[in-house]
Structure 1
Amino acid sequence: MKKTIKEQKTVLLILLSNIFIAFLGIGLIIPVMPSFMNIMHLSGKTMGYLVAAFAVAQLLMSPLAGRWVDRYGRKKIIIIGLFLFGVSELIFGLATNVSVLYISRILGGISAAFVMPGVTAYVADITSVQERPKAMGYISAAISTGFIIGPGIGGFIAEYGIRMPFFFAAAIAFLACISSIFILKEQLTKEQLAEISANTKQTNFISDLKRSLHPLYFIAFIIVFVLAFGLSAYETVFSLFSDHKFGFTPKDIAAIITISSIFGVIAQVFMFGKMVEKLGEKKLIQLCLITGAILAVASTLISSYLAVLAVTCFIFLAFDLLRPALTTFLSKAAGKEQGFVAGMNSTYTSLGNIVGPAMAGILFDVNIHYPYLFAAVIMVIGLGITVMWNEKQLGESLAE
């Protein structure tokens, strides 16, 4: 019989810290974007590509990392991912030209591809089916906090130097790596890993994508893409938009994102379980998409600091509730293929994180309002896709 979450607090805390640190790196670059643009004379398009480079590497590595999680064990992949992340942040902090910045972000993307499926599969191993939704909610809160609070931390630490946020991230990544080596224990034996690996067909990236088109997973994966696209597009241009339109300082931007992330995560922890029970996963996802689309449009109409803060708080909350609903659905549907599904979850997240920042950067150079309006359109399309969601298939899968 598996131990309860309460009995595994230390292990769960280490796992949540690991995934928090990995996603912290995605957002750290956001508040210093205007400064990098000025120092290196870069366009919005280039900055968008710089953010997208992280996700490109994550996309290409995720399916392979998902299989390695099932073959070599969760702990090894998590530790390797944390080490690579620390190296990538250190390189970024020392970089003096754009090419090195790209190398750093690519290495960071590879590290995220290792950590995300490793942690998700590890949590699935140590939790019962009854407690898994709660545990996945915690993972989602850690991801959201890392991704959203990254710019906040980056903005505050940047007061001591534009490169300090990256040295800070490298330090905590190496600490997390060391603590994981001594505290985490592999949950599956070599025989169990060999059995899972043997039962999983050896396929390439293209065939993995084809498998993800199975009706059981596909709609959920598309919404994963929409979530990642909307949040990354919104966040990528947020500091640039605030700097160009309102003249906000990095500290102002950091304050908005930090307050919004705290609000979103607290509300998520206390509201998610109750909302799923009352509405069900499908209706909750639809409500979040509607809210996100409306607030993305509202972002182009507001002007005061308090209005920006309020809209940002609620749009992040919508994303924070949407993510665990999807993660829980996919975990339940995965059965014994936790590594594969977690890897493909990471793949579709990466696709959204590639297209979102790239499109946002291009559109920003045309009109600073266009990235938000385009994100709203994507979320409305995602809402339409959820109408085709056949929940009966999930029930049949679980009954087998």
Structure 2
Amino acid sequence: MKKPLKEQKTVLLILLSNIFIIFLGVGLIIPVMPSFMNIMHLSGQTMGYLVAAFAFAQLLMSPLAGRWIDCYGRKKMIIIGLFIFSVSELIFGIGTHVSVLYLSRVLGGISSAFIMPAVTAFVADITSVEERPKAMGYISAAISIGFIIGPGIGGFIAELGVRAPFYFAAGFALITCISSLFILTEPLTKQQLLETTQLKKDTNFVSDLKRSFHPLYIIAFIIVFVLAFGLSAYETVFSLYSDHKFGFTPRDIATIITISAIFGVVVQVFMFGKMVDKLGEKKLIQICLIAGVVLAVASTMISSYLAILLITCFIFLAFDLLRPALTTYLSKTAEKEQGFIAGMNSTYTSLGNIVGPALGGILFDVNINYPYLFAAVILFIGLVITMMWKEKQSASSLAK
């Protein structure tokens, strides 16, 4: 019998801290991008590649990490990932050449491949099916605080120095690593780990990737990709867009992102579970995609600080609700293979995070409005796919 979430507050807090620190690291670079561009004389394209390097390393490692999570346990992967992440942030802080920054982002991506699916699988293991949407909402809130408040925190800490945010992240990651070592208890028994290891003896990355194309998973994974692509393309150029078009300072950018994040987190924590109960995962996903398309286009038509703040609040909210809806759906289909599902989820997220920032940077150099418009097109394609998904679901229901 699994304990209610309210009886596992300490474990849940540690797990949420782990996922938060990873996405904090992803977002920290955003507000200092203009400063790094000026100091190192880098182009928007190079900065896009720098963000994408993190996701590329995560992509390569995620399938293998998913297998290790199922075979060797969630706790080990979390601890190893946090230690690597701490080292990566320290390297970024002391780096003075762009090649060192790339090395740091690669190590960060590897650590994320361990931590993100391990935490998701851990939470799925300790929660009942009834409480899982709420738990996934908490995870998404932690991701939002890290990925969206990350730039905000980075902007404020950058007042102490452009490299200060990375030293902060390195120290925080080391603290959560030590806390996880002493507080977390592996949710799977040795027997369960052994059974999973035997089950996966005849599988490999190629077979796992083929399995992700199963009708039960593939549409959801495509939407995972679309979400990651749209959000990363939008956020990667947000600070550059605000700096070049409106002359916003890092503090202005940090304020907008921080307020948006707080708004999104409050809605996720207190309303996500109720929204899933009322609308269901699929309908909620479609509503969020529609909002994303409209708001991404609207972002190119506004100029006042208040308008930018409002648009940013609601587009981030749409992304924040879309993520846990997808994760909840996938975790319900995973059964005993939470590591596989979480690993593939991470893989498709990484694909989006690679292509999004890279194309966003290239398009920014051509026209500063193009990244937002392109993100809108990608989100619209995702919406069309969900409509097709709905038709197939209905057709299968009629066949019964």
TM above 0.5: yes
Letter in 2 for 1:157: I
SS state at 2:114 partner: helix
C-alpha separation in 2, matches of 1:14 and 1:391: 41
Match of 1:206 in 2: 206
CA distance in 1, matches of 2:393, 2:74: 29
User: What is the identity, as a one-letter code, of the residue corresponding to 2:240?
Assistant: L
Q: For residues 318-344 of structure 1, what are the alpha-carbon distances to aligned partners after superposition, in whole Å with 9 as ceiling and x for unaligned? A: 001101100000000111110000000
What letter corresponds to residue 78 of structure 2 in structure 1?
I
| Structure 1 residues 66-145: aligned runs within 5 Å | 66-145=66-145
Query: 2 CA distance for matches of 1:194 and 1:98?
Result: 43
Secondary structure of 1:215's partner? coil
Where 1:387 maps in the other structure, the secondary structure is helix
Query: Do the aligned residues in 2 keep the contact of 1:54 with 1:106 (CA within 8 Å)?
Result: yes
Q: What's the secondary structure of 1:29's corresponding residue? A: helix
Q: Does the residue aligned with 2:186 lie in a helix, a strand or coil? A: coil
Q: Which residue of 1 aligns with 2:190?
A: 190
> Deviation at 1:393?
7.0
Per-residue CA deviation, residues 109-149 of structure 1 (Å, 9 max, x unaligned), is: 00000001110111111111111111111111111211111
1:175-214, CA deviations, whole angstroms, 9 ceiling, x for partnerless residues?
Answer: 0000000000111111110102212354333332211000
Measured in 1, the distance between the counterparts of 2:132 and 2:379 equals 27
**TM-score (normalizing by structure 1):** 0.97
Instruction: Give distance in 2, aligned partners of 1:126 and 1:281.
Output: 21
**1:225 maps to which residue?**
225
Distance 1:325 1:201, change over 3 A: farther
C-alpha separation between the residues in 1 aligned to 2:47 and 2:209?
28
1:214-233 C-alpha deviation (Å, 9 max, x unpaired): 00000000000011111100
Q: Which amino acid aligns with 2:188?
A: L
1:293 matched to 2:293:
yes
Q: What is the Cα deviation at residue 275 of structure 1?
A: 1.4
Greater shift, 267-276 or 110-119, is seen at 267-276
Which whole-Å CA distance do the structure 1 matches of 2:202 and 2:20 have between them? 30
Listed as ranges, the matches of 1:345-360 within 5 Å are: 345-360=345-360
1:216/1:393 contact within 8 Å kept:
no
Q: In 1, distance between residues paired with 2:122 and 2:342?
A: 11
Instruction: Tell me the equivalent position of 1:339.
Output: 339
* TM-score (norm. length: structure 2): 0.97
Q: Which moved more, 1:359-368 or 1:187-196?
A: 187-196
Once residues 121 and 262 of structure 1 are traced to their aligned partners in structure 2, the CA distance between those partners, rounded to angstroms, is 26
Alignment check: 8 A CA contact 1:275 1:284 kept? yes
Name 1:56's counterpart in structure 2.
56
User: Is the Cα contact below 8 Å between 2:78 and 2:119 reproduced in 1?
Assistant: yes
Residue 187 of structure 2 aligns to a residue whose secondary structure is coil
- Contact 1:44–1:362 (Cα < 8 Å) also in 2: yes
Counterpart of 1:272 in structure 2 is 272
Contact preservation (8 Å) 1:77, 1:118: yes
Aligned residues: 395
Whether the 8 Å CA contact 2:141–2:320 is kept in 1: the answer is yes
User: Any stretches of 5+ residues in structure 1 without a counterpart?
Assistant: none
Give 2:279's aligned amino acid: L
1:390 CA drift (Å) = 5.3
User: What is the alpha-carbon distance in structure 2 between the residues aligned to residue 280 and residue 73 of structure 1?
Assistant: 31
For 2:203 and 2:29, how far apart are their aligned partners in 1?
Answer: 35
1:60-101 CA-to-partner distances (Å, cap 9, x unmatched) read 000100110011111000000000000000000000000000
Residue 392 of structure 1, CA deviation: 8.4
Indicate the larger mover: 131-140 or 9-18. Answer: 131-140
1:161 aligned partner, one-letter code: G
Bigger shift: residues 17-26 or 205-214: 205-214
- Counterpart position of 1:215: 215
* d(CA) in 2 for partners of 1:290, 1:189: 43
- Please, what is the CA RMSD of the aligned residues? 1.3
Structure 1 residues 214 and 390: alpha-carbon distance in aligned structure 2, compared to 1, 3 A threshold: farther
Which structure 2 residues correspond to residues 15-54 of structure 1 after superposition, within 5 A? 15-54=15-54
1:391 Cα offset (Å) = 9.1
Runs of 4+ in structure 1 displaced over 3 angstroms?
A: 201-204, 390-394
Inter-CA distance 231–41: structure 2 relative to 1 (3 Å threshold): same
User: 2 CA distance for matches of 1:29 and 1:41?
Assistant: 16
Partner SS for 1:171 = helix
Partner of 2:254: 254
Partner of 1:178: 178
Q: Is the 8 A contact 2:2 2:127 kept in 1?
A: yes
AA at the equivalent of 1:206: V
Kept in 1, the 8 Å contact 2:138–2:268? The answer is no
SS in 2 for 1:129: coil
Aligned AA for 2:378? I
5 Å-filtered alignment, 1:240-251, equals 240-251=240-251
Pair 1:381–1:105, CA change in 2 (3 A):
same
Letter in 1 for 2:60: L
Alpha-carbon shift at residue 283 of structure 1 (Å): 1.1
| Matches of 2:201 and 2:31, distance apart in 1 | 43
Q: Which amino acid aligns with 2:219?
A: I
The one-character-per-residue Cα deviations of 1:249-275 (angstroms, maximum 9, x if unpaired) are 001000000000000110111221121
Q: Which amino acid aligns with 1:67?
A: R
Q: Deviations over 1:152-195 (max 9, x none)?
A: 00000000000000000000000000000000011111111010
1:102 positional shift: 0.2
